[in-house]
Amino acid sequence: MENNPELYAMRHSLAHIMATAIVRLWPNVKLGVGPVVENGFYYDIDLGKQQLSEDEFDRIEGEMKKIIAEDQQFEHETKSIDEAIAWAKEAQQPYKLELLNDLSRAGTTVAKDLDTVELGLQADKDSKVSEVSFYRNGGFLDLCRGPHVESTGRVGAFKLMRVSGAYWRGKDTNPQMQRIYGLGFASEEELQAYIARLEEAKKRDHRRLGQELDLFVISPLVGAGLPLFTPRGTVLRDELARYSQQMLKEAGWQNVWVPHIAKQDLYEVSGHWAKFGDEWLKVESQETDDKLVMKPMNCPHHQQIYGSRQRSYRELPLKYMETTTVYRDEKAGELLGLARVRSITQDDSHTFCRPDQIHSLMSNLVEIVREFYSVLDLPLKVRLSFRDDADSYLGDQKLWDHAQQILKEVVDSAGMKYYIGEGEAAFYGPKIDFIATDALGRELQVATPQLDFVQPERFGLKYTDEDGQEKTPVMVHFALMGSIERFLAAYIEHTAGRFPVWLAPEQIRIIAVTDQDAVASFAKKLQDQANKLGLRATIDMSNESVGKKIRNAELMKVPYSVVIGEKEVESGEVQPRIRKDIEVNTDHSAHTIDEFLKTVANEAKSRATKTSL
C-alpha cells in the first residue's frame, strides 16, 4: 500500500468522506482518528450514549455517495498550533483537542502511538510543533497530514464493513469509541474481487476445516475455549509434538514432567501473581488451606527442579523440555477457535545457562525454529519484542539493554529480516517472537525464545562457577510451536487441510468396490501391510457407489486412495489415486502393493511438504 500512493490517498479521502457523512447525520459526533489500513480505512467516532449499529450503514453509505457526487475539492491549509487548538474547542472536538494539546506540549502525541504516523502529524521527536496541517472538503475540516485525492469524486469504490469498539488511543483505561471499518479500492471490480477473496479465505478457516475434516470439537458442556481433539486431530497434535520434541532432544534437551496445579505461593515468588491478576483458574482443596491454581505457565515449576540441588557451571546449559498443557482464564471475547483457547498445550522448554552461553544457545534455538518451519513450509515474520519505558518490567535496565543487544545480534547473524516491537516484551525479559498469519491475515505468535534474568534471581537459583563463586544462571524460555492449538490454527489455514503425508490423519484410504470375500480380504491384507510400515490406512466397505467413496476420500483430503475390486485381486497390483499436491514431487510409478506402500512410507518418513497449494 505504501508503494501505491494513489490508493493510499483514495482510502484516506474515504475516511474523511465517511466522517463528513457522519457529521451530517449526527452533528454532535466526537471524532477520533481515521487512518488508512490494509484494504481500506476506518474512523473512530463517539456518539455519547448512542451506539451505532450496522443497520445504519445504508444511511451512511448513502450520504457518502452524495458527498462523492458533489465532488468537493480537498483543500490543504495550515494553522498555527494555537489557532488549531482554538478550532478544536470551537468545534467541540475533545479528542482532536487532546491530540493538539499533546503536540503543542511535547511535539508528539505521547510517543509510539499510531497517532503521529497515521494522523500524519509530522514532528521530530521532542521538538514542539508550531504549525499543523488541515484538510478541508466542503464544510468538513479535519486535522490531517494528507495526502488526499483532488476531490471527493475520485475515491474509487468503497463499502462499509463493520463497526466495532476501539479504545481511544488503544488504551483500555480510555473511553471506548466506535470504529467503523470500510473497504476501499480503486475500482468496483477490485472491490468485488477482494470480497470474493475474503469468501475464499473463509473456506480455509480452521474452525470450518476442523469440523469438515473431523479434527476437533468444542462442547458447550466442557466449556468455551476448551477444544477436544478427535482421533484425526490427535494424530496432528501427536506427530507435530513428536517432531518438535525430537528436534530438541537431538540438541540435548531432556524431558521433565510437572503436575498441572501448584500453590499460589509459587507464582508470588516468580512475579506472575502480581502481573496476571485475572487469568488464574483457581482450584479449591477440601483437605488443605493451600490456595491452588491451574498452572498458566511452566517456568516456575521447571525452576523448582533446577533449584532442587546444587548446580555446577559444568552442568550448564541445563536443558529441560516438556509438552504440557497450561490453563488461562481468557476472557470470553478473546477466544478464537484454536488460535486463542483456555487450555494451551505448549511444547515448552527452559534452559539454564551462564551469561557467556546465551549467544550460542539463542543462535541454536533460532536455527531450530528455522528448520522446523521450513520443513512445515510455514512462513513467519520475526519480531524482536523489547521493553518500552513503562514501569511494569522487572529487573535491571542494564541487563535488559544487554539482553536486547544479544537478541539483535542473534537475528542479525542469522541473516533474518525482523522488526522491533517496543513494549512487546515479557515482564521478565525481551523475546524473539515468530509470527504466522491466518487465512484472513491475522497475526498469530507461535515460536518464541525469551531471555529471563528476573525469575532465576527471584527463586534464588545458583550455580557454582569455575572460580568457586555462586552465581545466578540466566534462563531461556523456548517454545517451538508456541502452543499446539494456535500452531494448528495457522497450519490448518495455511495448508487448507491438505496435510503432508507424514501428518495426514488418514494416509491411505482403501476403497472396496464390493463386499465380496476376496475383495474384503485383499483390502484387509493391504491395510495390515500398511499398518506394519507404521502407516495409517482405513478401509471403506460402506454401501455406497465407488464414485461416492472416491468423492468422500477427496473431501477428507486423504493423500492416497486405492480402489480394490476383482481386477486388483486377480493382478495383485494397485493403481493409487494421489492427491494432486503430493503427486508433484514424488515418483509414483510403482504398482505392486509392496512398491506402493514403500513409496508412501518414504514420503511419510521424509516429511516432504512441498505442495502446490
575 touches RNA by CB under 7 A: yes
Place of cell 522491533: 420
Contact criterion met (CB below 8 Å) for 19 and 31: yes
Show contacts with RNA in window 155-184 (CB under 7 A).
162-167, 170-172, 176, 178-179, 181
The residues that bridge with 181 in the sheet, in sequence order, are 42, 162
Supply 489's cell numbers: 490454527
Q: Which is nearer to RNA, 67 or 530 (CB)?
A: 530
Active site residue 102: no
Contact criterion met (CB below 8 Å) for 224 and 355: no
Contacts of 226 (CB under 8 A, 6+ apart): 218, 219, 341, 342, 343
User: What torsion do the CA atoms of 592, 597, 600, 606 make, to the nearest 10 degrees?
Assistant: -120
Catalytically annotated residue among 207, 319, 350, 383: 350
SS3 97: helix
Q: Contact region for RNA (CB under 7 A) — 83-91, 202-210, 282-290, 500-508?
A: 202-210
Active site residue 113: no
Show contacts with RNA in window 413-452 (CB under 7 A).
426, 433, 440, 442-443, 445-446, 448
Show contacts with RNA in window 217-256 (CB under 7 A).
218, 220, 223-225
Supply 267's cell numbers: 507464582
566 touches RNA by CB under 7 A: yes
What is the dihedral sign for C-alpha 365, 367, 372, 378? Answer: positive
For residue 279, the minimal CB distance to RNA (Å) is 7
69 touches RNA by CB under 7 A: no
Show contacts with RNA in window 471-490 (CB under 7 A).
479, 482-483, 485-486
Active site residue 477: yes
Active site residue 346: yes
389 touches RNA by CB under 7 A: no
One residue of 75, 238, 377, 554 binding RNA per CB under 7 A: 554
Q: Which is nearer to RNA, 100 or 425 (CB)?
A: 425
567 touches RNA by CB under 7 A: yes
Catalytically annotated residue among 93, 169, 299, 311: 299
Q: Which amino acid does the sequence have at 451?
A: L
Contact criterion met (CB below 8 Å) for 40 and 161: yes
- CA nearest to 362, candidates 320, 397, 406: 406
- For residue 220, cis peptide bond before it (omega within 30 degrees of 0): no
For residue 539, the minimal CB distance to RNA (Å) is 14
Catalytically annotated residue among 302, 328, 509, 536: 328
Assign 3-class secondary structure to 48-82.
CCCCCCHHHHHHHHHHHHHHHHHCCEEEEEEEEHH
Q: Which is nearer to RNA, 139 or 333 (CB)?
A: 333
For residue 119, the minimal CB distance to RNA (Å) is 15
For residue 27, the minimal CB distance to RNA (Å) is 20
Consecutive H or E run containing 480? strand 474-483
Q: How many residues bind RNA (CB under 7 A)?
A: 78
Active site residue 328: yes
One residue of 117, 222, 555, 584 binding RNA per CB under 7 A: 555
Active site residue 299: yes
Show contacts with RNA in window 314-353 (CB under 7 A).
328, 330-337, 339-342, 344, 346
Supply 158's cell numbers: 468503497
Q: Which is nearer to RNA, 528 or 573 (CB)?
A: 573
Active site residue 431: yes
Q: Which is nearer to RNA, 511 or 604 (CB)?
A: 511
Contacts of 280 (CB under 8 A, 6+ apart): 264, 293, 294, 296, 329
What is the dihedral sign for C-alpha 75, 76, 82, 87? Answer: positive
Catalytic residues: 299, 328, 346, 348, 350, 431, 477
